[in-house]
A and B are shown apart, each in its own frame.
Chain A
Amino acid sequence: MAVIRWAALRRQAGDPGVLVVFLAAAAILAIFVLYPTLRVLIYPTAADYLRIPTESRWIQAARNSLLMMVISTVSATLAGLIFAFAVTRPDVPGRRFFRGVAALPLFAPPFMVAFAYILMFGRQGLITRTMLGMDANIFGWHGLWLVQTVAFFPLAMLIIIGVLEAVNPSLEHAARNLGADEWTVVRTVSLALARPGIAGAMLVVAISVLADFGNAVVIAGSLPLLATEAWFRMEGMADLKGAALVVAMLIVPTTVLFLLERYWVSRRAYVTVTGRGGRIERPPTHPALKWGAFAFCVLMSVMIFLVYFGVVAGAFTTVWGRDWSLTWAHWRLASDRIGTLWTSVKIGALAGVITGVVSVVVAFLTSRALPLRQVLDFFAVLPGALPGVFVGVGFVLAFNRPPLELVGTVWILAIALAFWHLPMGYQAAAARLKQVERSIEEAATNLGASGLRVLLDIYLPLLRAAFAGAFTVSFIRAVTNVSIVVFLVTPGNIVATFAILNMIGNNVWGAAAALTTMLLVITFISVGLAGATVGRAGRSMPMA
């Protein structure tokens, strides 16, 4: 039996080269995805697991995490839905502008919204104290709710835009033609067809809220949450076992949500959508809907603007809340820590390359009719279910001892971040591959190309844009990450986000703001570069 399987594998792989790559990819995924995951889960003993119900602080943290998940998910998805509706109607003024603005939080470090809102709405807040004279306390669940809503609604928006845009305008015209008024059309056609997308958006946002470490650690105050509790265990008490137990608790809901999204919602997502027929304009939007949506977009845009304004203003203000004069002092302080920024960029670049290469290669392999390819596919999407803090704890536990002792190197950070972002890059590459007609590969084979040559000559060039996309997103997320970084930094390789987090914790707001601003500049430069690169690749590589 084994012999037959092996022969079949050989034939399907086409040539030994592909087989070697396949085995190498499987081994790498097993080491850097599966092994850390299992390490976390088996590190505590059964008795440790049984102890969980008696740890009242953890039960409290779990309850709080789930509560935050529910309220933040509902508000962020609702905001995302209204925003998505507005920017997909051709007659809402400023739709392109709003769409661009709403994408901004996606490029920000995950603690930035919280940090900026402390500056705006906190005890020393520009708006709350200086302008309104209130004594506001933003720390706690209500502050976190506000922050998570603003931080995660763009995620919901992007997903919902996808389905709303896919709704064929002729369906809306057909409903009008059959006698439905504008409001009924929106309710019974546009939104009804978007329902699976909305459900998918809710699940994705819910996972992000549960896993949100950066905002929680900055603004949750004394509110116990699972994501931050893991770090407190490890950082404060060096309690590795406790950290492992807490993150193990955390992946129960995230895994359930992830599986629901992947195997239930996404299966339904495009069933009702027909892409046939020429693109025609959508029917006009009801004025009340149109201007209501517009007003909402303005409000959310202001909230996003405050995030960026707060941080940049903070970097130039002498003493926030007391002395509003401008100063360069924070920049001098921040430039003492500029080394951390270079470490971030170095790690980000490494992570980007690893994510890009692994994404493209694994997508190529899972597109083959190879046995076990579903296993490879599962490994490549699994990190999507894992919160950053889980990956952080996993890498500490897995690689703090021989044979692969990586703790203390930049590699552990780069690898952990790279594989955490693998699902995004992998899925983009796999989707791109599906668009490449099978016969193109067959033509290459037919002309004498072996399996590995097909990968090199056909798929790698065609996946250049997917690679660039995976690299960029992985890079940006890596340089802005905190949830994994806090577990893996060592004094020798402090990264910028970690330095900023410490500054915020020590109330050194000005320097924190300045360093954050520098980080933002790097992020936006890399987005711009990526846009230019992909654009150029797109021009020289016309696609059928």
Chain B
Amino acid sequence: MRPHVHLRNVTKRLGGVVAVDDVSLEVPEGNFTTLLGPSGCGKTTTLRMIAGFYHPDAGDIFVRDLRVTDVPAHRRNTAMVFQEYALFPHMTVRENIGYGLRMRGVETAEARRRIETVVTLVGLAGQEDKFPLHLSGGQQQRVALARALVVEPEVLLLDEPLSNLDAKLRVRVRTEIRALQQALGKTTIYVTHDQEEALSISDRIAVMNHGRIVQIGPPREIYYRPADRFVADFVGLANFAPVEIVGPGMVRLGDVTFPVQGSMARGQALLVLRPETIGLTEHVPAGAGRPVLRGRVKTSAFLGTLARYWVDVLGAEWIVDQPAPGDRMFDGDVFLTLAPDRTHVLPDRPADT
């Protein structure tokens, strides 16, 4: 199937810096793709090129086989939800939502019907005649979403739409956005720097760094099989342990040898261990089959849903998370049980973060 949105070798320089460097991306119809990365990685620039606010210096952008690279922003059907919402302060909720329809020359009765539908869809019924200033942050967010959805865009663009909401609301709205997107089957490109948000909301995540897409794949793949040290470090917490590859799929860490997943070449490699995949015990754990290491708790913190330990292991400091902590925290010497099926090996090269 042809991709719905297709970026081919797109490059953009901004103020002498290469903001987006030879990026290619294919988003299938109905897919929710998230561009994830630290600030300055080029994710917003990429989104803005799709919207037409920037003209790429090289490369092309297609929407449904149609080359839109030179189409001005106001002739594209790529409605966007802005980080700061960008609601028109001098227009009511209804006028804000109806603005795109007005620009498209949609007749009044039809426009009214569509506004009504979308207002109900995002739960803003009864607020139509208020000005944006009189709405809460969450409501303003919904107006911005409704204003983008009502024009039935080819592709919906969202630029960090949740960053101005408080933590609890953020989680609620993001599940709503995801549910809405799935119900409407709308092709969506979402930009965020929040890895948890990206993991929870996306069909696919494209992790970006220094203007390039470093890895693209479903959330699970990004989390458990990161392409490199940067992705492993940026998405979630990770411990890195140098290991020696001793056979096909076998690595040696300290004095234990065990099978792992990941790219295999003889020699040195880097093992990625997620903090919550490591078990902690005071005594040698019963039952064999899993690799066990010795360590010593340096310091610990109680975080409510979990207890976090900083443990000295083989001369390095690892982070280990234990869920549902009870009254007692571990202290002193401990045993660490690894989960080989949740660990991942990277070729050992210097950190590129």
Contact = CB atoms under 8 A, between A and B. Distances in A.
| Among A442, A443, A543, A544: residue with most chain B CB under 10 A | A443
Contact of A448 (B53, B74, B132, B134): B74
Interface stretch (B76-84, B212-220, B298-306): B76-84
B344 interface: no
B90 interface: yes
B83 A439 contact: yes
B51 interface: yes
DSSP class of A's interface residues: helix, strand, loop or mixed? helix
A11 B86 CA distance: 23
Contacts of A447: 74, 79, 99-100, 103, 147, 151
Contacts of B89: 440, 462, 541-544
A443 B151 contact: no
Contacts of A287: none
B90 A541 contact: yes
Interface stretch (A193-201, A383-391, A449-457): A449-457
A445 interface: yes
Contacts of A453: 74, 103
Contact of A446 (B51, B55, B88, B131): B51
Contacts of A15: 72, 74
B191 to A, nearest CB: 13
Interface in A293-345: none
B80 A443 contact: yes
A438 to B, nearest CB: 9
B309 to A, nearest CB: 38
B111 to A, nearest CB: 13
A11 B55 contact: yes
B133 A543 contact: yes
Contacts of A439: 82-84, 86
A448 B100 contact: yes
Interface string B46-70: 0000011101000000000000000
Interface in A1-44: 11, 14-15
B283 interface: no
A457 B86 contact: no
A458 interface: yes
Contacts of B86: 437, 439-440, 442-443
Interface in A374-423: none
Interface in A510-544: 541-544
A15 B74 CA distance: 10
A442 B90 contact: no
Interface residues of A, number: 24
Q: Which of A437, A444, A445, A458 has the most CB of B within 10 A?
A: A445
B75 interface: yes
A462 B91 CA distance: 10
Given A11-B55, A447-B103, A448-B75, A542 B88 contact: no
Contact of B88 (A14, A440, A445, A450): A440
Contact of B74 (A11, A440, A449): A449
A449 B90 contact: no
Determine the interface band of chain B, counting residues with CB < 8 A from chain A. 20 to 34
A443 B82 CA distance: 8
Interface in A479-528: none
Contacts of B80: 442-443, 446
Contacts of A440: 86-89
A121 B100 CA distance: 67
Contacts, number: 79
B73 interface: yes
B349 interface: no
B104 interface: yes
Given A458-B88, A542-B134, A442 B104 contact: no
A461 interface: yes
Contacts of A437: 84, 86
B155 to A, nearest CB: 12
Given A442-B53, A448-B100, A449-B74, A544 B132 contact: yes
Contact of A442 (B76, B82, B133, B134): B82
Given A462-B90, A542-B133, A446 B84 contact: no
B214 to A, nearest CB: 28
B74 A542 contact: no
Nearest to B130: A542
Nearest to B96: A443
Contacts of B147: 443, 447
Interface in B134-178: 134, 147, 151
Nearest to A543: B89
Contacts of A462: 89-90
B143 to A, nearest CB: 11
A542 B87 CA distance: 12
Contacts of A14: 72, 74
A6 to B, nearest CB: 16
Contacts of A542: 89, 131-134
Contacts of A11: 55
Output the residue of A11, A437, A446, A457 with the most chain B CB within 10 A.
Answer: A446
Contacts of A442: 51, 53, 73, 80, 82, 86
A437 B134 CA distance: 18
A461 B82 CA distance: 21
A440 B147 CA distance: 13
B61 to A, nearest CB: 15
A542 B93 CA distance: 13
A351 to B, nearest CB: 27
B73 to A, nearest CB: 5
A425 B147 CA distance: 34
A437 B86 CA distance: 7
A227 to B, nearest CB: 43
Contacts of A458: 88
Nearest to A442: B53
Nearest to B53: A442
Contact of A450 (B55, B74, B90, B134): B74
Interface string B179-217: 000000000000000000000000000000000000000
B167 to A, nearest CB: 22
A153 to B, nearest CB: 37
A544 to B, nearest CB: 5
A512 to B, nearest CB: 46
A476 B139 CA distance: 43
Contacts of A446: 51, 53, 73-74, 76, 78-80
A449 B86 CA distance: 14
A458 B87 CA distance: 11
B71 to A, nearest CB: 12
A447 B75 CA distance: 8
A457 B99 CA distance: 9
5 contacts: A442-B86, A445-B73, A448-B75, A450-B74, A458-B88
Per CB-CB distance, the 4 closest pairs between chain A and chain B, nearest first, are: A448-B103, A447-B100, A542-B133, A439-B86
Given A442-B53, A447-B151, 8 more contacts: A439-B84, A442-B80, A445-B74, A446-B51, A446-B74, A453-B103, A462-B89, A544-B89
Interface of A: 11, 14-15, 437, 439-440, 442-450, 453, 457-458, 461-462, 541-544
